[in-house]
Each structure stands twice: as C-alpha cells, then as structure tokens.
Structure 1
C-alpha cells in the first residue's frame, strides 16, 4: 500500500472517530437537556393541578374535562393525587391510568420528597405536596412526543452531516495528498530515468527548505558520489588495461621470437630473461592491485589491533631488502618510550607494512644512492618522516602524485605502475591518519605520515638504529 493511500485512510479514520465523538456528545447533551426540561414541565403541571384542586377547589369533573379536551390535540400530562393512606383523591383519567401507582411508589414520594423515572418511554415524577397541615402525594406522567421528534430529527441531521463530511474529507484527502506528493512523484519519475549512461542527471528541488528538498539534496549528493565512483572506475580500468597491455605485448613478442628455431642460445636466453622480467612486472602489478582492493574495503570489515610502529618499520625494511638487497633503509627514533602503548597504533599489520614498504621503496628507487630514511617522533600522534636525497618531484606533479596510475615527469627514472602512493594514502586514511609531501627537484623528497597513538606523549631522546 502506498504512503498516500495510507495517509488518506488514516486521516479518514481519525476524522470519523473525532466526528463520532463530537456527534455523540451533542446528541447525548440534547437528550439529557430534553429529559431535564420535560421533568421540569411535569413538575409544573403537577403543582398547577394540585393548586387548582386544593386552593381553587375546581371540581374534579371540570379538571378531567379539561384533560380530555387537551388530550385530543396534544399529549396532555396525566396527574394523580393521593393522601397518606394511599387513597386516590383525584386522577385525570383513571380508565387510562398509565403509571399504575402502588404503595411503594407513594412511600418513596413521602420519604424522598420527589422522585422521577422512565416507564416505557413515558417520564414520571412524584412530588410531596403540603396543604392545610396535611401531606399529599402527586404524580405526573407524560410522553414527550414533541421532544422525541426533535431528537429523531437531530439524529437524522447528525447522520446526514456525518456522511457528507466523511465524503468531503475523503475527496479533500485524495486531492491534497495528490498535491502534497506531486514533488515525490516527480522525483520518482526523474530517478527512474537515471542510469549508468546519464549519471549527470539530478533530482529537481522544490525551491523550499522542507524535508523533500533535503531528500532531493541527499539523493543528488549520493549521485555525485556515484558519478565520481563510476568515473574513477572507468579511469581505473583504462589504466589497468594500459599497464597490462605493455608487458603482455612484450611477453608475446619475446615468445614469438623464441618460437623461431634459428635463434642462437644467447638470443633464447635474452628472450626468456625479458619475458621473465615482464612477468615479474605483471606479478607486482597484480599484488599492488590486490593490496589496493584490500585498502578499499569497508573499515568495519578490516581487522584492527594494537601494533608497534618500530616492529612494523623493521619488518617493512626486511621485506624491501629481501626483494632488492641494494636498497638501504635507516630508521631513527626521536624520543624514548616506556611501554608498548606509547609506540603503538590501532591498525592492520599487513596494510601498514605495505604502506611503509611503499614509502621506503619510493625513496630508494628514485635516489642514486638507493637509500631512504625514516625518523619517528612520539606524542599524541606518532609522526613518521620518510626522506630521501633523490631526484625529487616536479612542482606540477605534486598535486597528482596520490592519484592512482599517475606517473610524473620522473617516471622514466625508475619502473612503476603509479599505484604505490595512492595505495599508501588509502591505508593511512583507513587508520585515521594523514599523509603529506614536500619535495625539491634534485634535492630530495619527504613524506610525513601522522597516525593516532594509543599511549601518552613521551620525552625526546635521539636513538639511531
């Protein structure tokens, strides 16, 4: 069921309940008012007849004749008078007596002074009346036909107004809900037309600052992220294809040459060596892509635990020198620490080692002496400065060095695929840290990494490994 339909039903049901309560209160109030007014009328009629009978000493026959004459045109009140011995002194029409008074009723009148009750739609009152030092019981009964007709007419009017009101409310609810949800319908229509081929389309705003405008803005922001993600994915696939095509083409060429039986042994060896180098390049690219994918996981899916920075740096240096023994890495600690927490971060061991190894390798391969160094300082954050004295980075390249597959002007100096620095930035970001770079061409480059430490600040003391 659509929200619009649910709102119409809810609004209609709520209105029905409110109108029902309102109509019930009005009808019950009118009913009680009619009863109260007719009881007052019966009391007045009873007292009037009693005064005529006792004070004015009007003959019984005359009073009864008046009653019969009036009864032909209207519902006349039936009055009866009793003494304390339950002797009937007067009755308007004994032959059509409706109340049928008994000893118990007369006793209640004398003891309570006044009673009133319903009897088959008739209203009855009983009054105690004093005359010449004696007490009498007077009863008056009548059927309020006029009042009942008014009540019936009011009830019919209530049902008529109730039905018309409900019909009007349903129609108005449909109209206003349609008007209210028109912007939503426009958003749905627009959203259905958005696909991969036209991610640049956006939902229209309604020009106000209501919830629908917030919804449209939030959806458009999501589309901005999706568009950026798709564009990055396209560039990523294009760059991968480019990176894979070159070594694969070289391997195919070398293998085709090796298929020629006229080659010498030295030529076969050179072809195999070239194919092997290109295969290793492909393997490094595949490993880099795998690490890049791991660094792109949702942080909630990555295991974090306390890891020591010093051990990570030593492991990264050992890994790098195992791959290329010509690389030299120096590690310096600017300060002393008293416990593991002061030199530990909450991180993923594998990813941090990959990031540090990338920074070591980047410094070594772009310097003539194949050397890189890192200095570590402790405080609220653990700060690592990865430095080299290599060829540096051109100022025009600095804003783009963390872009995947970007190769700057120094790309011809050493082999690479442009993934290492972008992967390092992702890993540092996953660990809620920051990375920045400063570089001077032909003098060297320094990458500064800041990671939140687990332990408190410590004093400074120079230690060299």
Structure 2
C-alpha cells in the first residue's frame, strides 16, 4: 500500500473513531438529559398530586380526581399511587397495589428515588402531612423521547456516513497534497543516471522531512559524483599528464640504443632518463594527491613555496618546450618579504595546475605568445595568464571547469577536457580562486588569486 493511501486510511480511521466517540457522547448525553427532564416532570406530578390529595382536605376524592383529569395532561402509560403508613394505596380511586411494599419502604428510607424499568421511568417521594406519612409514586413512558431518539439515531447514522466519506476523500487529498513534493522527488530520482550525476533534485522551500530527505540525497549524489569522477578521470588524468614524460623516456631510450655510443653519451642519456623518471614519479604522486583531494588527504601534504620561483621555473620550461618567448613573465613591484610571496601547497601539484592553464592558452592561441603577470598586493597573490587566442562565448565560460568539457572547434584544439578541471580542483584545494574573462576572437585571461591568510 502506498504511503498516501496509508496516511489517508490512518487519518480516516482516527477521525472516524473520534467522530464515533463524539456522536456516542452526544447521543447518551441527550438520553440522560431527556431522562432527567422526564424525571423532573414526574417529580412535579408527584408534588401536584400531594398538594391536591393531601392538603386539600375540604374537597372530596372524587372532585380531586375530576380536577386532576381536567387540568393535568395525562402522560403516556401514567400510573400514580399514594401509599399510607400501611403501604396500602389510598386517596386515588384506583387502589390497585401497583408497586411492592419493598419499593415503598425504599422511598421511605431514601425520601426520594428515581429509577427506570424498561421504557418506564419511576419517581417516588416521601411526603409527611397532618393526616400521616405518605409515599407518592408516579411512573410513565416517555414516548416523545423514544421517538426523538430514533430520529436522532437515524440522523446521526446519515451524518456519520457523510462525514466518513468526506474524511476519506479529504484524507486522500491532504495526503496527496502533502506528499506531492515526494512524487516530484521520485520522478527526479528516476532521471538520475551515471551520465548526469551533476543533477540535483529540487529541495523545495518547506523545511520539512521531505526537504531533509532531498537535501541528504543531494549530498549523497554529490559524494557519488565526486567518487565517480575520480574513478573515471584518474586514467584520463594520468594519460593527460604522463604522456609527455613517458614519450620522452621512450624516445631517450630509443636514441641511446639506436647506435653504439661512448660511455659519456650513455651516461648522459641515462641521466636524462633518470630525470624524466623522477619527474614521472612526482607527477604520479601528485595525481594520487589530486585523487585524494576530495577525501581530504592531499591538503596535509604541503610545503612552503615561493610563487615567483615557480613562475620563473615555468617560464624556463615552457620556453624550452614551446619555443623562445612563448611564455612571457611580468612582475609588478614584488615585496621584499619572503612570506608575502609564499604559498603553502604541494609544489608539483600547483605546477600541474598552472601548466594546464598555460598549455590550454598556447593551444587555443595556436602557439602564439602567452603572458603571465604576477602581482602581490595587501589582499594576496594575484596571477593573470593571458593569451591572444580564439576566445570563448559566455555559454562556454559556464562549463570550462567541468570534467571532460571541451570547447574545441578544430582538431588542433582537441583535448581530454580534464586540464582546466584539474587546475580548478588544485587551486581550490589550496584556498585559491580562479576566474576567467574572454572575448570571442580577442583572447582569454585566467585570473588566479591566493588570499593573504
């Protein structure tokens, strides 16, 4: 059974039980009220009888009977008796012993009694007079109340059925209304696949249990997305970063083995292979740190790095790799204090991030010169990397830091879509920010900032 059906059923059952309780209470309260009212009428009847028969000494019993029948409306099945000290019926013409001596004595004892025999209600009073001590008993059947109770019962049954149906329908409507966000949540969850883990379900505006469910589900999807991206991208990351040093290792070994060489040449070749292997080891270690970044391991493996020294190192390597003056560095009034130029980070990992941005700039500018401006202000370290490439549209700028996204329009610009994603992850890992401005056909500027702690 669906939750909304269970909610509607439980709501209806509880409301129905409450309704039955209320109707039952109303019914029996009405019964007691009508009985009490009829008892009062019978009590009045006994008192009137006492006044007529016991205090009107000058009037004969026959005359009193005539007055009683003329002016007192006879009740249904009415029986009235006056009993003397010997418990014998007297005064009233009908002297049949309607009640037992035990009942009469009970009235003498309690002075007044009220009780019910089937449909008949009975009232008895003890009355002391100059003629003696008497017991007056009166009883009748309240047909009016019986008729009213039958009508009331029928009305209550109709009302109960109408309210029950209304509760059932309204309960289902309320359940559907309350759980409608859950239906939306279910429909949205059905659409989540391995290829759109970046999708998040609507959490809504109500701070209720469904909101908490959606919020926790989104957190879970975020963790799954990160884990899935790590699994999918590690090979791509490794391929993206390891291709050049592995190629250099292979080429160096092939050149060394191509012909006989002197001992010095072999040593030089092996030294180059050793350097490339050492760089390869650093890159692999850095990739592992990147993979662990979301698990909050990589942040602890840091050391102090002077950013100007890293920029000079990058200029030297890129001018050797891409050509002289392909990477131009501009420094703006750098401070003398070393701590103002220092960043706490993993040097190899941060170099990978900057290498990715520079490589991307050179690629999309078709190997035109790329400039880097380093400035240190009171706010922190500010790095601008600018190219004169093809630029990007506003829509492309919204996606460039997503994994596997590439805006390449020709084969020379093709890539894995991981470089800028890695750069963004690494820079964010060390509490930096990266932003980009671009104009189509003019060029692009990546701005990296490390705030002063």
Check 1:247–1:28 CA distance in 2 against 1; reply closer, same or farther (3 A cut). Answer: same
Q: 1:292 to 1:361 in 2, by over 3 A?
A: farther
TM-score, scaled to structure 2: 0.59
**Gaps spanning 5+ residues in structure 2: where?**
317-333, 344-370, 376-381, 387-400, 404-418, 435-447
1:231 and 1:374 map into 2 onto residues whose CA distance is: 45
Mapped contact 1:425–1:435 kept (Cα < 8 A): yes
Structure-2 residue corresponding to 1:118: 116
Q: Which residue of 2 aligns with 1:23?
A: 23
Residues 4 and 177 in structure 1, CA contact (< 8 A), matched pair in contact too: yes
The one of 372, 394, 397 equivalent to 1:393 is 372
Alpha-carbon distance in 1 for matches of 2:245, 2:149: 99
Q: 1:107 maps to which residue?
A: 108
For 1:263-302, what per-residue CA distance to the aligned partner results, in whole angstroms no more than 9, with x for missing partners? 655554444333222211110112222333444324xxx7
Counterpart in the other structure of 2:83: 82
In 1, distance between residues paired with 2:250 and 2:49? 130
Residue matched to 2:141: 143
Alpha-carbon shift at residue 250 of structure 1 (Å): 2.4
User: What is residue 319 of structure 1 aligned with on the other side?
Assistant: none
Answer with 189-198 or 260-269: which moved more. Answer: 260-269
Task: Answer whether contact 1:387 1:447 (CA < 8 A) is retained.
Answer: no
* Alpha-carbon distance between aligned partners in 1 of 2:126 and 2:10, rounded to the nearest angstrom: 56
1:4 maps onto 2:4 in alignment: yes
Q: Equivalent of 1:249, from 239, 247, 250?
A: 247
CA distance in 2, matches of 1:419, 1:365: 23
Distance 1:150 1:179 in 2: 42
Segments of structure 1 that go 5 or more residues without pairing to the other structure are 303-349, 377-383, 406-416, 437-445, 452-465
Q: 1:400 to 1:147 in 2, by over 3 A?
A: farther
C-alpha deviations, 1:417-447, integer Å up to 9, x for none?
9999978755654xxxx799xxxxxxxxx99
**Shift in Å, 1:24:** 2.5
TM-score, with length taken from structure 1: 0.57
Provide, for residues 83-113 of structure 1, a one-character-per-residue CA deviation record: whole Å limited to 9, x for no partner.
Answer: 245343257866672565446314225xx3x
Deviates more, 1:196-205 or 1:150-159: 196-205
1:57 matched to 2:60: yes
For the Cα contact (< 8 Å) 1:355–1:424, is it kept in 2? no
Rounded Cα–Cα distance in structure 2 between residues aligned with 1:58 and 1:263: 158
Q: Distance in 2 between matches of 1:129 and 1:364?
A: 125
Give the superposed CA RMSD: 5.2
Q: Does the CA-based 8 Å contact 1:295-1:427 persist in structure 2? A: yes
Q: Please state whether the residue corresponding to 1:393 is helix, strand or coil.
A: strand
Superposed counterparts of 1:11-410, under 5 Å: 11-51=11-51, 53-54=53-54, 55=56, 56-59=59-62, 75-89=76-90, 97-98=98-99, 101-102=102-103, 104-108=105-109, 112=111, 114-129=112-127, 131-132=129-130, 134-198=132-196, 210=206, 238-257=236-255, 260=258, 265-298=263-296, 351=299, 354-357=302-305, 362=310, 365=313, 375=337, 384-386=339-341, 393-394=372-373, 398=383
Q: CA deviation at 1:127?
A: 1.9
- Deviation per CA, 1:309-333: give whole Å up to 9, x if none: xxxxxxxxxxxxxxxxxxxxxxxxx
